[in-house]
Amino acid sequence: MGLFTELKDSVSRVTDRLFSEQEPKRIGIYGPPNAGKTTLANRIARDWTGDAVGTESHVPHETRRARRKENVEIERDGSTVTIDIVDTPGVTTKVDYEEFTDEMDEDDAIRRSREATEGVAEAMHWLREDVDGVIYVLDSAEDPITQVNTMLIGIIESRDLPVLIFANKIDLDDASVKRIEDAFPQHKTVPLSAKEGDNMDEVYDNIADYFG
């Protein structure tokens, strides 16, 4: 009888552990073009998996398809938070091929603008259907009050998704974190430089807190 009870308890513990484990939460990295979304995604992925997510570039719309890095385990305060990172294309109201003509010939610029437009549509689909939380990346050297930012933050709020605003590029001379905090006071703003790796401990603390 004792053996049976021990076996039953052992099976129960294993079953409880299996069913208590949650699927990794899908965290979408959103924001306007050239805010540093892929740089941040790569920083997080490299810090915790050793791998990159995508190609970084100063040319707008380098990311034209959503890219996902699964099972990123972030360890904070003795516990582990597992997330899937979704690096999404920069969202804008208009993609003009002339934005790219300084970097490539006209045919390539037209193709890039078409792909970027499709990427915006894909990013919006992910936001409406397939993410469990959002990291919203803004360039702290730029004015955050734009039509795109207001629209996207509104969609995130309408879905009641947990969101962190990351004020990126604090290494730039004209960066202003306060400008972003004042624009969206209802949300937590975390300053960082994804390129330089500045303030990443606070970044990971907040990711664990909001999405764990």
Radius of gyration of the chain (CA): 20
- Classify the phi-psi angles of 71: left when phi > 0, otherwise alpha if psi is within -120 to 50, otherwise beta: left
Name the pLDDT band for 93 (thresholds 50, 70, 90).
low
The residues, any chain, with a CB within 8 Å of residue 14's CB and separated by 6 or more, are none
| CB-CB contact of 166 with 136 (8 Å) | yes
Crossing angle of helices 106-129 and 147-158, in 10° steps, is 30
DSSP H helices in the chain:
2-20, 37-49, 106-129, 147-158, 177-183, 200-211
Using the predicted structure, report yes or no on whether residue 173 has a pLDDT greater than 60. Answer: yes
Using the predicted structure, report yes or no on whether residue 45 has a pLDDT greater than 50. Answer: yes
Phi, psi of 27 (to 5 degrees): -110, 110
Using the predicted structure, report yes or no on whether residue 26 has a pLDDT greater than 80. Answer: yes
Using the predicted structure, report yes or no on whether residue 25 has a pLDDT greater than 70. Answer: yes
Lowest mean pLDDT: which of 104-118, 165-179, 184-198?
Answer: 104-118
Token duo for residue 46: 């490299």
Nearest one of 61, 60, 66 to 26, comparing CA atoms: 66
Per residue in 121-159, pLDDT (tens digit) is: 666 666 667 789 999 999 999 999 999 899 889 989 999
Token duo for residue 179: 């400008």
Q: Which CATH number does the domain housing residue 83 bear? A: 3.40.50.300
pTM of the model: 0.76
| CB-CB contact of 177 with 191 (8 Å) | yes
Residue 117 domain boundaries = 2-211
- pLDDT at position 181: 98
Per residue in 101-118, pLDDT (tens digit) is: 556 656 665 566 666 666
Provide the percentage of residues in the chain whose pLDDT is more than 90.
49
Name the more confident of 166 and 17: 166
Highest mean pLDDT among 46-60, 104-118, 185-199: 185-199
Using the predicted structure, report yes or no on whether residue 177 has a pLDDT greater than 90. Answer: yes
Using the predicted structure, report yes or no on whether residue 97 has a pLDDT greater than 70. Answer: no
Question: In whole angstroms, what separates CA 1 from the centre of its chain?
Answer: 53
Using the predicted structure, report yes or no on whether residue 164 has a pLDDT greater than 50. Answer: yes
- pLDDT at position 91: 67
Averaged pLDDT score across all residues of the chain: 79
Task: Specify burial of residue 25 (Cβ count, 10 A radius: 0-12, 13-18, 19+).
Answer: middle
- pLDDT at position 125: 64
Name the pLDDT band for 14 (thresholds 50, 70, 90).
very low
- pLDDT at position 15: 43
Number of structural domains the chain divides into: 1
